Structure 1
């Protein structure tokens, strides 16, 4: 590696003249200055608190917390503040889609841990900041959202947050310690009264260009082919003002965010501290990645959504059941995404290691996350769908609703049909357009390519029998070949 002190000599030798050496000295000096600035402001890991018994120590051991800002807070100030009485903690979620996803879940879980410890939490929806676009972790600027799309996204994100908070409260039970209050806000509410001149005059004067340029997210974008727009560069001002506003209006002194939000957290800390003189704190949760190292999110094209209309309880459940052992062991998802006590997690991992093929850890993880996101009913639905799809359970199929079947077989046609007396297997297949007309359709049945409610049928002239071909819920699950499903709903039973 070339050090800053070696850089000028090497550049001069390669260029062969004094002008190149002088130019390189300047470049190396600037690079050294940026590096020093970044190192001075970089938060440290919470390792010093790991051996303690407080909330921060417990969350650090679980892997839920990664870094704290400012550094000294991990030692004394923040633990003492949390022990002094209920505090207010907030985390922001920009509505860039109409649902949150698994990549957002760890930040929500972080808020829930604070709530479970008796602290009040605020989930802040960025109805205003989503119009600007957070540049963190992105190589190009986001596409602007229309007013209609933004309004739809705000509603969807609010639904994601409210359902998880609501299910967590139900799962905690009546005998649990006092839970902190939950507030869901939209930052569009306090930006409507600002104009650009007033905002820059009141807020912008507290920011310094050198500090803003030193942020890792800004540096990486400035070096990218797309560069960075002024709009994106100013995102730090709005994110910082959010912290100050919540501090003033709600007494909020702690902000939680993903580790890719570190620069934004630092901006918020700096602004709030400058404008009030009061110390505030930033905490980060680690980014959850796939086995290939990609961040879980819609930008990476691998989003698993929290809202049921985007990802069903069954799909969410199966996502975690299918997690490879490498993820379960390396990131210990049971500690990250559930509220199971650490001794129970250790015991589960020991049992899992005895026979990994049973996927004991994955199945418990999937159950806990599905309950948190979709409630106990959602978990029951996921298990019914699992029994229907992978275990050919007729009982589970008979218990399923129309909506569950359509979630399970998203690509399957759903047809509502009138049952005529004497309707045969072949006629039902043709009404569903599951087999072609003529001899080929007849042959598909006789050759055993058709299954009704998991059972193979080979007689095209067999009359449909309620209780066998038509379940008590009025449904028939028709399959032709290995993957072609059709859901028939009989209306006149």
Structure 2
């Protein structure tokens, strides 16, 4: 099956849960609403005639990440209701970047931003349907900001913003109280985002914007601007920032974001991330990141309470989200690799891309045929010394590609290097390392 056909099948299977009286009720149950302009009006809006709504994604990196996935799935849920999504990738705002809490962003070159715009547009397109009367439309705010002169911008847009109000926005206030301060460039970001909403309202009749709750000040800058300039009402939804049950930021793995691009976060690593979710978090993750029904999720909630050792909810979560993002073929590869790494499958059956992705997540040693496996164990930090490595081998607890190492002085041979490049060292049942052949 082609990737296009598979994506179509995935999207065709997606449904909102009709056990809820309204879509707004479902969004609240799933924990997708942290703040909004008017819950009652929004609920009525969602149940009424089709309308246009949008979310913006700035190209400040070459890929979207899990925080963006929350927005994409919210956009998709509204599209399933019959409403018309605009996916905005910010060719102009990406040249500036919204204010971070601590320091100025490094400005990327125009060529870099342009490239990243294309990459993000392709990613956004994968999660929204381009078919039917409410087909997704991609827009770029550079189209309406580039022709605008600085004088026109200040006269027509800037005059509607009050500095006192702008200073109260959370991101701005945080920066003003930091040692770094804030530049006029980043201070102006909220005006640009407000202008985006105004232009989309004018061009497409767009009446709703969604974003993370940390962007709330920027979201309502648009609703306020539309009210002042056009005399119309518009709405905003701020989704909660997803955190773990211990209060730590969700979507980070050892300091690195979980990206949607398979070249930046392999399907194997992506699958493992979801598989390792804590019992206290997994049900909330199922609500936010899958299209599973309330009834299905309730069954997994019972299993988590009664049989947590089976990790059934985590396995279903990893399956659903990895399939959503990377497709079923890559997901099955990740599942096969996960089993094979821990001795429950044949590593030789894994294709090179899957094996490379799986081993890249492990501690590493570099070796060539003739290298002693005991020494490779030391280099990969599976043990602290050669003596410890030899004792582990003697005790029968060391494996190369799931085959027991039987001699303390056993050497790596060419046949051990799968696809001529990779091998997997294992000590005991769960301690793994990758061996990669030296480059010529």
The answer to whether the Cα contact below 8 Å between 1:256 and 1:283 also exists between their aligned partners in 2 is yes
In 1, the alpha carbon distance for the partners of 2:248 and 2:200 equals: 32
Aligned residues: 403
In 1, the alpha carbon distance for the partners of 2:170 and 2:221 equals: 12
In 2, the alpha carbon distance for the partners of 1:126 and 1:376 equals: 30
In 2, the alpha carbon distance for the partners of 1:349 and 1:298 equals: 24
The answer to whether the Cα contact below 8 Å between 2:422 and 2:434 also exists between their aligned partners in 1 is no
Superposition deviation, residue 256 in structure 1: 0.5
Secondary structure of 1:143's counterpart equals coil
1:123 aligns with 2:87: yes
- CA deviations on 1:307-338 (whole Å, 9 max, x unpaired) are 10011111111111111122235xx1111111
In 2, the alpha carbon distance for the partners of 1:145 and 1:381 equals: 35
Partner of 2:307: 355
In 1, the alpha carbon distance for the partners of 2:134 and 2:172 equals: 36
Compute the TM-score of the two structures, normalised by the length of structure 2: 0.80
Q: Structure 1 295/475 Cα, relative in aligned 2: closer, same or farther at 3 Å?
A: closer
Equivalent residue in structure 2 for 1:479, among 403, 410, 425: 425
In structure 1, stretches of 5+ residues that fail to align are: 1-50, 170-176, 418-426
1:153 aligns with 2:116: yes
Partner of 2:6: none
Considering only CA atoms, is the larger Rg found in Structure 1 or Structure 2?
1
The answer to whether the Cα contact below 8 Å between 1:452 and 1:476 also exists between their aligned partners in 2 is no
1:407 aligns with 2:357: yes
Partner of 1:68: 36
Superposition deviation, residue 294 in structure 1: 3.8
Secondary structure of 1:108's counterpart equals helix
1:100 aligns with 2:54: no
Secondary structure of 1:380's counterpart equals helix
RMSD over aligned CA atoms reads: 3.5
In 2, the alpha carbon distance for the partners of 1:237 and 1:464 equals: 63
Superposition deviation, residue 253 in structure 1: 0.9
1:385 aligns with 2:337: yes
Q: Structure 1 309/179 Cα, relative in aligned 2: closer, same or farther at 3 Å?
A: farther
In 2, the alpha carbon distance for the partners of 1:398 and 1:299 equals: 28
Partner of 1:11: none
Q: Structure 1 103/462 Cα, relative in aligned 2: closer, same or farther at 3 Å?
A: closer
Q: Structure 1 298/271 Cα, relative in aligned 2: closer, same or farther at 3 Å?
A: farther
Q: How does 1:32-431 map to 2 (within 5 A)?
A: 53-69=21-37, 71=38, 74-76=39-41, 78-135=42-99, 138-165=101-128, 180-296=134-250, 301-328=255-282, 332-390=284-342, 392-395=343-346, 397-410=347-360, 427=369, 429=371
Partner of 1:455: 403
In structure 2, stretches of 5+ residues that fail to align are: 1-18, 379-385
